[in-house]
């Protein structure tokens, strides 16, 4: 990913695209700062997932800034923030759709034979190891909880139904 960012910066410089150059330099600086901090804590640097986290954080910051600029009537600055968001977003992996996320959650729940809400952590750990950067894990967690709750309710209902039938 760093290579893609460097290449994009060189192309932006050749095209004299000042906004794109400035944004990509900010991205590079944020990554270098995180690498420096990681090395100070004994790590070798940052991996791809950490770069993705940096990019997502930068996008959220720009969303907040754009909303504040709009509220204060500075529409030109809000538009600049949104343009920077789009530049940064180009480097993020393609996000899975809601339907794809739900299907992958269902498959994972079945695959690891999750039985109840106590297995949410195992499911989420497996999803994160497989689909890091591609999936909204807050949404995935909601899907998994719903599936495991429904499974628990379905199992308890069938047990209650069996008991009710035997009593009559």
How many other CB atoms are there within 10 angstroms of residue 140's CB atom?
Answer: 21
What is the set of domains in the chain, with CATH numbers?
2-89 (1.10.1510.10), 98-167 (1.10.10)
CA distances to 91, 133, 165 from 99, rounded to whole Å, are: 23, 17, 38
- Could you report the per-residue pLDDT of 71-118, keeping only the tens digit for each? 999 999 999 999 999 999 999 888 888 999 999 999 999 998 888 888
> Global pTM?
0.65
Mean pLDDT of 6-15: 93
Calpha distance 11→57 (Å, rounded):
24
Per-residue model confidence as pLDDT tens digits over 115-143: 888 888 999 999 988 887 788 888 899 99
What are the two backbone dihedrals, phi and then psi, of residue 29, each rounded to the nearest 5 degrees?
Answer: -65, -45
Q: In whole numbers, what is the pLDDT of the chain averaged over residues? A: 86
Alpha helices in the chain, H assignment, sequence order: 2-14, 18-40, 48-71, 75-89, 98-111, 120-131, 137-167
């Amino acid at each position: 990913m760093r290579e893609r960012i460097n290449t994009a910066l060189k192309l932006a410089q050749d095209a004299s695209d000042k906004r794109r150059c400035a944004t990509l330099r900010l991205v590079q600086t944020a990554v270098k700062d995180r690498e420096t901090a990681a090395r100070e804590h004994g790590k070798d640097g940052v991996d791809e997932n950490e770069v993705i986290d940096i990019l997502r954080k930068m996008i959220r910051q720009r969303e907040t800034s754009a909303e504040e600029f709009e509220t204060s009537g500075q529409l030109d600055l809000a538009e600049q923030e949104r343009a920077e968001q789009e530049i940064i977003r180009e480097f993020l992996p393609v996000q899975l759709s809601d339907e794809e996320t739900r299907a992958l959650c269902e498959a994972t729940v079945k695959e690891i034979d999750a039985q109840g809400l106590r297995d949410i952590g195992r499911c989420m750990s497996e999803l994160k190891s497989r689909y890091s950067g591609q999936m909204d894990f807050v949404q995935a967690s909601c899907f998994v909880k719903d599936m495991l709750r429904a499974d628990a309710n379905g199992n308890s209902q069938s047990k209650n139904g069996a008991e009710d039938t035997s009593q009559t």
